[in-house]
Amino acid sequence: MDYAETSSNGDIQWCFSQVKGTLEEDVTEADIISCVEFNHDGDLLATGDKGGRVVIFQRDPISKNSIPRRGEYNVYSTFQSHEPEFDYLKSLEIEEKINKIRWLKRKNPAHFLLSTNDKTIKLWKVSERDKRVEGYNTKEENGTIRDPACITALRVPTIKPMELMVEASPRRIFANAHTYHINSISVNSDQETYLSADDLRINLWHLEITDQSFNIVDIKPTNMEELTEVITAAEFHPAECNVLVYSSSKGTIRLCDMRSAALCDQHSKLFEEPEDPTNRSFFSEIISSISDVKLSNSGRYMISRDYLSVKVWDLQMETKPIECYPVHEYLRSKLCSLYENDCIFDKFECCWSGNDSAIMTGSYNNFFRVFDRTTKRDLTLEAARDIAKPKTLLKPRKVCTGGKRKKDEISVDCLDFNKKILHTAWHPSENVVAVAATNNLFLFQDKL
């Protein structure tokens, strides 16, 4: 995997911070990054890939404490989270690809995270060991048991320092609860329960119980021929442990309150924007499907990402979004070719800045967009190899749709649809962002 740079929004200038890994053009399918997630204090950053591996990066202490602060991360731990499996009853291969990673809040020196592929969720403990015990009575240093006849004296074991070792061990495996592919996991604010969502159902788990989960949402029709929508994303409220939201392929978001009923089939609120009749086309239903929904850190707002835009919703107002930001409106004229090459089904994620003042999401040609909610300015930036030098300022990119192209612009016909930014993450308290571009992870920060 490859890792890289830093950038900014609105009046902030973004610059490249760092790149780790290889920059060769040869990319294997297993190396493609499939999710990116900061932990709650931003000191750790986890990525999952299609090969079932999880790579954790730790913020460099020197860069964290330097003036100005720098967003540089080093590899902390790498482990194989999931292996390919085969469902013999359904004759289906289950990919090892990591769909989502979610961190638990830290309660002790160890770190805990949840990772999931299409069917199985695992709880991992990541801990450090920098001391070892020497001088056992009943066993040798290599672990073999000593002959009791040879033990003639009592020794007190001593603790000696050793080279730091980071160990990742699976503590829980939550399996066999989903018929369809898991697309979301979300840890509740109580830090005791979490949800997992697939195309038609959402289950509620307790972190200590692996053999039982509660089905809290079920939209599966009695007759599957009547199926009209699927669940695309789900998330718990950041502060209210009884509230969750989930989005659908019909472009709607439902807010559910688990206090109202054990089965949340009847939503408390429905967020839906009426379709503009002037934009009605064959592709309307496909591009209105919501690929990601994220509640703001304050819990007051949420953002939803459909194919062409990002929308900001106020949880107190269901009728329409309070803000709408076009991500790549210039692709509206290209929907036919995007449908033919299946790009129209790409699922772009979105994320909030730490103080909810900005939003980030990805696009094609390794472009990613940053929208400043205060100034209403937007920025198009590129995660490219040629800027992989520390402190390199990122130049805003522009896409032209007309015939005449300015010097710094790129024509919409020249965009590379094989290069896409699907996964992004924003540091919880600083302007440091992580952008996954195929097998490269770019880290960008604001230029102070």
HSE-up of residue 61 (Cα within 13 Å, Cβ side): 1
Whether the predicted pLDDT of 88 surpasses 50 = yes
The answer to whether residues 18 and 441 touch, using CB atoms and an 8 Å cutoff, is no
How many folded domains does the chain comprise?
1
What is the predicted pLDDT for the residue at 148? Answer: 81
pTM score, two decimals? 0.88
Residues 436, 420: Cα–Cα separation, whole Å? 9
Domain extent, residue 367, equals: 14-446
- Within 10 Å of residue 424's Cβ, how many Cβ atoms? 24
Task: Flag whether 362 is in a domain.
Answer: yes
Whether the predicted pLDDT of 404 surpasses 80 = no
Task: Flag whether 88 is in a domain.
Answer: yes
Beta bridge pairs of residue 218: 201
Task: Flag whether 119 is in a domain.
Answer: yes
**CATH code, domain with 423:** 2.130.10.10
pLDDT 10s digits, 331-377: 999 999 999 999 999 999 999 999 999 999 999 999 999 999 999 99
DSSP per residue over 174-230, as a string? Answer: E-S--SS---EEEE-TTSSEEEEE-SSEEEEEETT-SS-EEEEEE---SSGGG----
What is the predicted pLDDT for the residue at 209? Answer: 96
Task: Flag whether 265 is in a domain.
Answer: yes
What is the predicted pLDDT for the residue at 24? Answer: 55
Beta bridge pairs of residue 197: 184, 202
Task: Flag whether 198 is in a domain.
Answer: yes
Q: 439: phi > 0 → left, psi -120 to 50 → alpha, else beta; which?
A: alpha
Task: Flag whether 5 is in a domain.
Answer: no
Task: Flag whether 7 is in a domain.
Answer: no
Whether the predicted pLDDT of 8 surpasses 60 = no
pLDDT 10s digits, 204-240: 999 999 999 999 999 999 999 999 999 999 999 999 9
Q: Is 237 helix (H, G, I), strand (E, B) or coil?
A: coil
Strands, sheet with 111-116, edge to edge from the N-terminal-most edge strand: 100-103, 111-116, 121-134, 158-174
Average pLDDT of the segment spanning 281-299: 94
